[in-house]
Amino acid sequence: MGILTLLILTPLIGALLAILPFTKNNYAKYIAVITSIIVCILTFLVFVSFDSSDKTQQFQLQENIINAFSVAPLNLNYHLGVDGISCIMILLTGILGIPSVLVSWNITNKPKQYFFWLLILQSSLFGVFSSLNMLLFFIFWEIELIPMFFLISMWGSGLRRHYSAMKFLIFTFGGSAFILIGLLVLAFSGHSLDMSEPIYKTTQTLIPLSALCLIFFLGFAVKLPVWPLHTWLPDAHSDAPTAGSMMLAGILLKLGGYGLLRICIGLFPDTIDTWALLFFILGLINLLYGAFVTMRQTDLKRLIAYSSISHMGYVLIGFSSIATNSSIGATGATLQMFTHGTITGLLFLLVGLVYEKAKTRSISELGGLVKRMPRITSLFMLAGLASLGLPGTSGFVSELLVFIGAFNYMKIGTIIATIAIILTTGYMLWMIHKTMFGPPMERFDKINDATDRELIAASILGIPILVIGIYPQIIIEYLDLSLALF
């Protein structure tokens, strides 16, 4: 059994243990945290033992275990493997696992089910990132919706949580429909569903390759999300529990970017020239539109949700620069997926803590929290500064690489995109200052700072931000060769 299968199975086993009838409610969280730690160690093992000088898929495992379901063109292979890109996405999933369990410590409403779904979510994410068979990829892709739906609708915090969960589900199912169409077209064109084999222009397909690429793009665009398909995101975030928001912003959005990279660009390398301009313009809209709308938000979670939309613009812009035959922009974009996962994960974690302690997320009601919450403030500052791309944090490296890549593709557009730096600085500082600084307020006199457990959870996300910011090569090494292939 390969290490990748182990990665998918471990959270699954943990999930089953957590929901067993004789497991006590209190034990569920311990099972979850132990499982997450094991999983995190496993992801580190994958990361460390991955040979970044080898550009092929590694830890490959291929079995036709489900032959019964392999109807003629649809060959469902249990085919796993990772390259540099999936390797760091797996690492990101592993890193986010522990904090998301740790911040859910005080869940009292059906904790067994809660941790069950959280672990199932992890399992399916590992599946998505390590599948090399497109049907398998699609199955995991769909499975991951179920836990997220329940996390939002059952443990959400807002009054509109059922609406938001439904919205999330319908939007992403809509996106999945496009992926399914693309998959069927591909299968009925007689192409194998192996994701590691690019399809070139000479291949015959039922519909033109560039149209096929666009169909897939529509599917992934919902997830990323690309303007104007983004409105599910702020609602889903503001109503999800803290861990849900962390997973949603930290990894689920990156599924969109990952899919784009792996399928739209990786599978159809010839079509990027056709669609690069579209990617760039949509990315630019995401970036600036998202930033402007973020400025008007009054709820902490919605603000960060909209800032995520803005930051995902960098991913699209970076991918578009592959058309210049340089992998710098795409490396930046992929790095942005990783860093944004940690940064926004941390931001949501901290906002969750503030909400839990101060009982409000409305920015106008908060203020002067630093007096009672020095720990949370320091970490908030770190995450905020990383989010606005300050050198020394990982956010800077990814943004710089994206800009460098994009500048070769379109100069004026990139210069326009740099405006986003100012806007991000503006809203991030405004948010931090409004909530944390200013004269201390009387009604917050009794609230407590982050506990040690919460501090550890936050540090797990904070450390990669600094490490990558200071020595980015550690991740770039993994991406360089894999992306240079495109």
Partner 1 sequence: MNTELIIWSIFGLPLASFIIISLGIRGFVPNRPLLAPICSIGTSVLSFILSLYILVQYSSIDTNISSHSIINMSGLTLSFGILLNPLTVVMLVVVTVVSILVQFYSVGYMRKDPSFIRYFAYLSLFTACMLGIVISSNLIQLFIFWELVGLCSYLLIGFWHYKPSASYAAKKAFIVTRIGDIGFLIAILVVVSVQTNLENSNNILDLPNLITAISNGVFSSNQITIISLGLLAGAIGKSAQFPLHVWLPDAMEGPTPVSALIHAATMVAAGVFLIARFFPGIHSSIPDIMFLIACIGSFTALISALMALVMNDIKRILAYSTISQLGFMFAAVGFGAWGAAIFHLVTHAFFKALLFLLSGNISHGIPTHSFDLRNMGQLRTKMPFTFIAMLCGACSLAGIFPFSGFWSKDEILAEALSNQQYLIFGVLLITTFITSIYIFRIIHLAFLNPKKQMKGQQVPEKAHEANWIMNIPILLLSIAAIGIGVIINSPIDLGLINAHMFSSFIGAHVHDLNIQLMIISTIIGISGFIITFWYYNYPISIPSVLKNYLLKINNVITNKYYIDIIYEKYFMMKFIYSFLANFLHKIDEKLIDNTVNQIGATVKNSSHIIKQIQNGQMQVYAGFTSIGVLIFFVMFIIFIR
Residue type present at position 404: I
Distance, CA of 341 to CA of 347 (rounded, Å): 10
- Helices 300-320 and 419-436 pack at an angle, to 10 degrees, of 160
Q: In the bound complex, what is the minimum distance in angstroms from residue 306's beta carbon to partner 1?
A: 9
Please select the residue that binds partner 1; options are 6, 143, 421, 447, rule is CB under 8 A: 421
- Cβ nearer to partner 1, comparing 271 with 324: 324
Distance, CA of 58 to CA of 483 (rounded, Å): 15
Q: Is 422 among the residues that bind partner 1 (CB under 8 A)?
A: yes
Q: Is 439 among the residues that bind partner 1 (CB under 8 A)?
A: yes
- How many residues interact with partner 1 (rule CB under 8 A)? 55
Question: Which positions from 276 to 305 touch partner 1 by CB under 8 A, shown as an x/- string?
Answer: -------------x--xx-xx---------
How far is CA 421 from each of CA 8, 78, 102, 233, 397, rounded to the nearest angstrom?
Answer: 38, 43, 32, 22, 13
Question: For residues 337 and 326, is the Cβ–Cβ distance under 8 A?
Answer: no
- Cβ nearer to partner 1, comparing 356 with 480: 480
Q: Is 371 among the residues that bind partner 1 (CB under 8 A)?
A: yes
Q: Is 158 among the residues that bind partner 1 (CB under 8 A)?
A: no
Instruction: Name the one range near partner 1 by CB under 8 A: 72-80, 276-284, 418-426, 453-461.
Output: 418-426
Give the Cβ contact number of residue 66 at 10 Å: 14
Q: Is 173 among the residues that bind partner 1 (CB under 8 A)?
A: no
- Cβ nearer to partner 1, comparing 87 with 479: 479
Q: In the bound complex, what is the minimum distance in angstroms from residue 59's beta carbon to partner 1?
A: 23
Please select the residue that binds partner 1; options are 15, 316, 328, 376, rule is CB under 8 A: 328
Q: Is 311 among the residues that bind partner 1 (CB under 8 A)?
A: no
Distance, CA of 311 to CA of 306 (rounded, Å): 9
Please select the residue that binds partner 1; options are 326, 356, 365, 466, rule is CB under 8 A: 326
Instruction: Name the one range near partner 1 by CB under 8 A: 30-38, 107-115, 276-284, 473-481.
Output: 473-481
Strand partners, 62: 79
Q: Is 480 among the residues that bind partner 1 (CB under 8 A)?
A: yes
Binding site for partner 1 (CB under 8 A): 167, 170, 228, 230-231, 289, 292-293, 295-296, 326-328, 331, 368, 370-371, 385, 390-392, 396-397, 400-401, 403-404, 407-408, 411, 414-415, 418-419, 421-422, 425-426, 429-430, 433, 436-440, 470-473, 476-477, 479-480, 484
